[in-house]
Amino acid sequence: MKKIINNPNDVVSDMVSGMIQAFPEKLEQIDGTMVIKRKELSSNKVGLVSGGGSGHEPAHAGYVGKGMLDAAVAGEVFTSPTPDQILAAIKAVDTGHGVLLIVKNYTGDVMNFDMASELAESEGIKVEQVIVNDDVAVEDSDFTTGRRGIAGTVFVHKIAGAMAETGATLNEVKEVAEKTITHVRSMGMALTPCTVPAAGKPSFQLEDNEMEIGIGIHGEAGIERKPITSAKNIANELTQKVLDDLQLQSGDEVAVMINGLGATPEMELFILQQHVNQLLKDNNLSVFRTYVGEFMTSLEMTGCSVTLLKVDNQLKSLLEAKSEATAFRV
């Protein structure tokens, strides 16, 4: 295992310290937790909390900032944060207008966010949740009932965050988050695995000429292992599967996210992007905005995902609204 770390058991606390020290004017850590919150909350708005296992950086702490999340809860690597930490985040960001939890669809996350939500409500805080399930690769998986939540989650953060900044009510923010979830779909693939620091060895193996289509962001099984093919074929396979599921009409407008899983050179993401773009054109779809980079990673996994979000005027205007999150500046 070749990693720039200290004790493998301390990676999350070391990382959170580094984040706070990097952006001391924007972020702070809630004492005794792995919760990163905005240093100065906007008043008069719904609070937004997300989080999940670590190892997906910049998700989720990179999306904390004015216009996106108010707090992110960092679990151990690829492990859901505990309910008490999620509760601490909820309490820290509630300004009396209620709190929306944005949860990726993994059994552990869903259970722990739900438990935290109940605890918060018993303390008189109004809490709502949305569950993101954008990954079209597989129904159910090792860690999930139903589809998994992956990179499309970042669009939910952005859109719900912008809506909350307008002073919308908890129900209104929840409604636009659910609308986003309804219209966003993703699919990924990997060329190489990653190593959880505390485990010390890769969680799976791929042959030298092999890729896995539809793999999850924790290395969960995808659809198929097969020989590596061209960027064009990879782009077409991922994008077509997303298009099949989204059921878009000719003339529809989409936002596109080309996401690197951690170790993929940006060069390759842009090569992929040109083929995704071409396939969208061939389907008479219009591209509103394209986002290329690392948004939802799997440590040093090599691979990518393609996310499409069908947009209307409301979603477009919320995507374009100002964001001061450190990993998503608009």
**Annotated catalytic residue within 60, 157, 218, 275:** 218
User: Least distance in Å: CB of 207 to a second copy?
Assistant: 10
Minimum CB distance to a second copy, residue 232 (Å): 6
Residue 282 vs residues 239, 278, 286: alpha-carbon distances, Å: 12, 6, 10
Query: Which of residues 65 and 83 has its CB atom nearest to a second copy in the complex?
Result: 65
Q: How far apart are the two ends of the chain, measured CA to CA in Å?
A: 37
Query: Residue numbers of the site for a second copy (CB under 8 A)?
Result: 2-6, 11, 14-19, 21-23, 54-55, 57-58, 62, 191-192, 208, 211, 228, 230-232, 234, 258, 262-274, 277, 290, 292, 294, 297, 299-300, 302, 304, 329-330
CB-wise, 140 or 329, nearer to a second copy?
329
**Which one, 172 or 268, has the nearer CB to a second copy?**
268
Integer Cα distance of 180 and 40 in angstroms: 27
Query: Three-state DSSP class for 47?
Result: strand
Q: What DSSP string runs through 111-165?
A: HHHHHHHHHHHHTT--EEEEEE--B-S-SSBTTBSSSPP-THHHHHHHHHHHHHH
Least CB distance to a second copy at residue 129 (A): 26
Mutual angle of helices 170-183 and 313-320, in 10-degree steps = 100
- Measured distance CA(185)–CA(310) in Å, rounded: 9
Neighbouring residues of 150: CB distance < 8 A, sequence distance ≥ 6: 104, 134, 135, 186, 188, 216, 217, 296, 305, 307
Cβ proximity to a second copy, 17 vs 314, nearer residue: 17
Which residue lies nearer to a second copy by CB, 8 or 146? 8
Which of 67, 83 has the CB closer to a second copy?
Answer: 67
Q: Give me the catalytic one of 56, 60, 97, 183.
A: 56
Nearest-approach distance from CB 206 to a second copy, in angstroms: 8
Task: Compute the chain's Rg from CA coordinates.
Answer: 19
Closest separation in Å from C-beta 268 to a second copy = 4
Residue 56 appears among annotated catalytic residues: yes
- Non-local CB neighbours of 147 within 8 Å, separated by 6+ positions: 105, 133, 134, 135, 136, 137, 138, 139
Q: How far apart are CA 286 and CA 250, in angstroms?
A: 9
Q: Helix crossing, 266-282 with 231-246: angle to 10°?
A: 50
The CB-of-127 to a second copy minimum distance in angstroms stands at: 29
Please name the residue ranges forming H helices in the chain: 11-22, 83-93, 107-122, 152-165, 170-183, 231-246, 266-282, 313-320
Q: Which residues are catalytic?
A: 56, 218
